[in-house]
A and B are shown apart, each in its own frame.
Chain A
């Protein structure tokens, strides 16, 4: 080779090789990088240092702060870079020896619509929409609406809901449209099984301290006298207790029953029970789902301290007519739903009535106890009606009505005219006692865009209690005649307008905001008597014993479900409210914070802080909930109640969704709680001065709750354990010392199991154990006095009185009970029948209902006696679904 040739060859080689010499890397270069939880920038620095790869980017435009964990051994450079930068939408290009990073701006895609039952068109609240590859998802709101904005390419979403087959939703070309996603219900028997399939995993929800209860769970529980019941099912969850032997309302995390906000399709309910708290006021068949919040209250809820029970009722089948009829030991009920205009308008009507009084009445008529014109009626009933109309893909309205009452009516018209011991001849007597709720709601859902949903609702809720008595008699000896009529009446009403918005602007933010104004009307404790006899008696004193007060409550809220980083999520909110009553204005600013941090192996650690305010108080006899209890607004002396609660816990759903596990601890303080002072319940019932007869104090509740739930397979159920303390302190009660709350139970265990046996059988069992409630027993007995002088006429007061020293010096016996049930279902051509046999308290445990100091005249002894009211109670229910 000539010199020139050698030179040329050398130059060519130099030219060809020079880039390799300068950069020393290409896309195929094998690199090794191992970092744990370091920012992307740190990875870039390693590549630069170890392999001479220089990165060029603008710090303002390209964010390399995301923390990553990389384990790459001899991985191709390009593949590693794709893995690192693709999730952040960072584009990389080689320019000379530099890697230039650019932030890619893509148009976002918003998928929105409704998830509904494929057969009935019923909207499904709480359904999950999830992009598994991107680990992004959302859930439908209480109207079944969802909106998922994603900046990622994705082909399809998985949509799922408890009791339904999950569906794959192709989203290509579906952006910016309002979709209807139908989900197919599972096979008939499974419909009543806790057969959850895919749903939002606990670790994917920032919300903690919440229990979601679909209809299927309520129906699978063993029944009490043939009634499936929402409240009883909620009582079997950790952190939730009942009153005396399960009756008497909900006690959530040491709170009293008046501290529960119970919403029926968004309308607050004053008294959520029939039959002194034994049954819920709702027929379980019309309940679509219920969410119980024990803490970590989202900002959209307010007005009560301890819990929110958000119940969604069925909307009615848009396509087919169907219903069910059932008869149990206590009540008979029916439920009919169907389209008025197919796929446009639907209705649902359900009614329930207890019927044992009809049987008694027949017997009493036979016996003639009340005379020929007499009667006895003692029953509860409830009626639900709802109409749902779709105006357009963007507008729909719901009109719902509820009426439920407990009634006792006794009418007596004696057949004979014999005078009684007082010489009176009764001509007729009539007694009526009743209480109940009337609830109405008109709601309008409107979709402004795929990202903005609104609900405007007008709510009316009324609770009324009344007693009427009419007694017509004459006294032949004197010609005296009497026609006494009297009534006692209490009524509390709410009329509210609420506007809620649901705005999902980006994958990292989900906003809810809204406002509401509620007019409260309190008219409790009015009594009126008159005698319309031959000589009408004009009441000498009709001094008002009741109240007549109006108040206005208003609120504003804003909350954001915010993805802060890949592992850290927050639900930040603020709820502000005011209450105007009798010229006074109370207000409060209530911050709400929820945090979730994702740990390895899909464990989520959660924490929350909530502040709640309550402007209305329930005047109730200590420890018991009675229909006569009245709601009153805060006064100059009794300020609104408020609470602060912190909670922390961990949660996980297993990979195959079969098991859910939660462990939570909480600490709650409650202020401005009221209680009748020791003596005053007996001294006065003057409602006008109620606030002078109560003492104001504080309460503390703290404890832990653990729950493991199996939700897949033929065996489902849960085991829950609660360790809790709940205490109160009032200046004039228990000498100002802290004492336990009436329903302070240290340990509580719940085991609920459901077993599917073949296609037609399903068995269920629940076992409940709780430690005894506090009890106040006398510490001595002494003699009383009645008259100033032993020479005075009448009883000298030779009575025995008991001395009580403070509150709760004993504990009642522990309570435990096993309930079982078995259901047989068979599908016929046009209908399905089922029999349910349930046994309440299978081993006949004598759980205490009440205690009293008994004076046993036969044994000549005085001792503590325990009364049990719920022995073993078998029941049978027959139902037909068509």
Chain B
């Protein structure tokens, strides 16, 4: 609600405002190692190592990869096999040989010449219990059931896809929780739909909840997929704060949203994530 007003004021402001560039030299903290890795159980680890840039750099390719970085992955403090560099879709990743598994703590250390070594660690969350995904073609509603763990703090990320040939999800669909469920008036007023939903279980702890999602456009695919990922607390903070910063658009009317990081001496996020997907046929 609060952010709605901030954006409201911004909208009114920008309609009547004039704007000019401020020529100042922005301070720069210096090059830092950026480690990004979301660790998924039963999957190898994909670790991306890049370098930070001054805030006034426009070109996103400015996030230069650090290919000569020394990266180690530790499981419960014990080094795993050396990670291998792989180029996937034009980007360089450091990929583990072994798969990540539940019940362990993982640490990633990275160093590079001329840069301060960094380290980050996290555990893995349990898999979410979801079932009963369904949707009616030409409608805008997708339903599924989530069984939440009682007494534990759970964090979730939800996404919706339509599937192509071979049940491969090909298009991410914008959606929102059914307003009557979500009690989120602003979503309704602004008619806002999102690529993903990040939430905690504060309002349904231990319950089995039927989620009703409303897609932005009518469903026309025959096969769909609902993906629910359980997050660790660190992952949840990262997604919420990065969403807040991106949504704010860099406006400094309020205090800027600081994106959560657990990388010591550097930036980025190392967090466990446990995604469960249900592919289903629309009715």
Contacts and interface: CB of A to CB of B under 8 A. Distances in A.
Contacts of B244: 681-682
A810 interface: yes
Contacts of A868: 17-20
A467 interface: yes
A546 to B, nearest CB: 10
A19 interface: no
Interface string A722-748: 000000000000000000000000000
B55 A785 contact: no
Q: How large is the interface on B (under 10, 10 to 19, 20 to 34, 35 or more residues)?
A: 35 or more
Contacts of A73: none
A790 B88 contact: yes
A538 B179 CA distance: 11
Give the residue among B53, B93, B140, B207 with the most A Cβ atoms within 10 A: B140
A83 interface: no
Contact of A785 (B1, B48, B182, B218): B48
B52 A851 contact: no
Interface string A789-820: 11101111111111111010110010000000
Interface stretch (B25-33, B69-77, B104-112): B25-33
Interface in B235-272: 236-237, 240-246, 249-260, 267-269
Interface string A775-786: 111111111110
Contacts of A807: 255
Contacts of B50: 782-783
A622 B59 CA distance: 31
B55 A527 contact: no
A780 B210 contact: no
B180 A854 contact: no
A71 interface: no
A803 B43 contact: no
Given A423-B217, A622-B254, A777-B26, A803 B267 contact: yes
A779 B28 contact: yes
Contacts of A869: 13, 16-17
Contact of B185 (A467, A538, A689, A864): A467
B185 A487 contact: yes
Contacts of B181: 537, 539-541
Given A679-B258, A853-B55, A863-B21, A788 B38 contact: yes
Interface in A637-688: 678-679, 681-686
A789 B91 CA distance: 12
Interface residues of A, number: 101
A850 interface: yes
A529 B202 contact: no
A584 interface: no
B129 interface: no
B232 to A, nearest CB: 12
Contact of A781 (B39, B46, B53, B240): B53
B55 A475 contact: no
Interface stretch (A198-206, A392-400, A446-454, A478-486): A478-486
A422 B216 contact: yes
Given A780-B54, A794-B161, A803-B29, A679 B46 contact: no
A780 B29 contact: yes
Contacts of A244: 253
Contacts of B39: 788
Give the residue among B39, B138, B212 with the most A Cβ atoms within 10 A: B138
Nearest to A527: B183
A-B pairs with the 8 shortest C-beta distances?
A682-B244, A853-B250, A785-B36, A788-B40, A543-B203, A778-B55, A622-B255, A793-B169
Interface of B: 1-2, 5-6, 9-10, 13-14, 16-24, 26-30, 32, 34, 36-40, 43, 46, 48, 50, 52-60, 62-63, 88-89, 91, 93, 136, 138-141, 159, 161, 168-170, 172, 178-185, 188-189, 195, 200, 202-204, 207, 209-210, 212, 216-218, 225, 236-237, 240-246, 249-260, 267-269, 273, 275
